[in-house]
Amino acid sequence: MIVGAAIIRDGRVLACARSAPPEVAGMYEFPGGKVEPGESETAALARECAEELAVRVEIGDRVGRDVRMAHGRSVLKVYTARLLHDDQPKALEHLAMRWLSAAELDTVTWLPADVPIVAALRPLLLAAP
Ligand SMILES: Nc1nc2c([nH]c(=O)n2[C@H]2C[C@H](O)[C@@H](COP(=O)(O)OP(=O)(O)OP(=O)(O)O)O2)c(=O)[nH]1
């Protein structure tokens, strides 16, 4: 199981460009990664956000559906998240980061599995305070 965090701030979501492997480098994703054995999805997201972005987050609701990934062996689940304590994300493992508004979601190339999740995210960004 792969979990991703749709970190929302001021009606924008944080999109992160993968640095590796070469086939997907430069494509955008939600920060996250594999849930380790015995770890909750929420704990995995908090750990990955700390490792990849050096931020503390509060995990919220699911966004979109479970997406089965290309080789069928794993499932991607994305949750909304918000930054805590005014933490500012740093791209420790990503090539680039962008805060995208609903209107800007399609200005980057997302990993294929993320496309249906991004569609489900759009109305949430428009509704965000
Ligand atoms: N983090 C993340 N991974 C995604 C997304 N969409 C998507 O297809 N993936 C895929 C890319 C990778 O094949 C896999 C996540 O692997 P990863 O390498 O980021 O995870 P990880 O940090 O736990 O990996 P590892 O280096 O510990 O093996 O899921 C997404 O939005 N976020």
For residue 100, the domain's CATH number is 3.90.79.10
Q: How far is the CA of 4 from the centre of ligand 1 (A)?
A: 8
Measure Cα distances from 14 to 9, 18, 68, 116 in Å: 8, 13, 22, 16
- Substitution candidate for ligand 1 out of 95, 98, 111 with most atoms within 8 A of CB: 111
Q: Which domain holds residue 9?
A: 2-127
Q: How far is the CA of 7 from the centre of ligand 1 (A)?
A: 16
Give the chain's domain count: 1
Tokens of 126: 């428009």
The closest alpha carbon to 68, from 113, 115, 6, belongs to: 113
Model-level pTM?
Answer: 0.95
Place of tokens 């460009």: 17
Taking CA atoms only, the protein residue closest to ligand 1 atom 16 is 33
pLDDT in tens for each of the 129 residues of the chain? 999 999 999 999 999 999 999 999 999 999 999 999 999 999 999 999 999 999 999 999 999 999 998 777 899 999 999 999 999 999 999 999 999 999 999 999 999 999 999 999 999 999 866
Atom of ligand 1 at shortest range from CA of 113: 8
pLDDT at residue number 42 = 98
Contact 92, 76 (CB under 8 A): no
pLDDT at residue number 128 = 65
Write the secondary structure of 93-121 as one string of H (helix), E (strand) and C (coil): CCCEEEEECHHHHHHCCECHHHHHHHHHH
Could you count the other beta carbons within 10 Å of the beta carbon of residue 9?
13
Please, where are the H alpha helices in 16-87?
41-53
Tokens of 80: 């909304």
Distance of CA 129 to the CA centre of its chain: 20
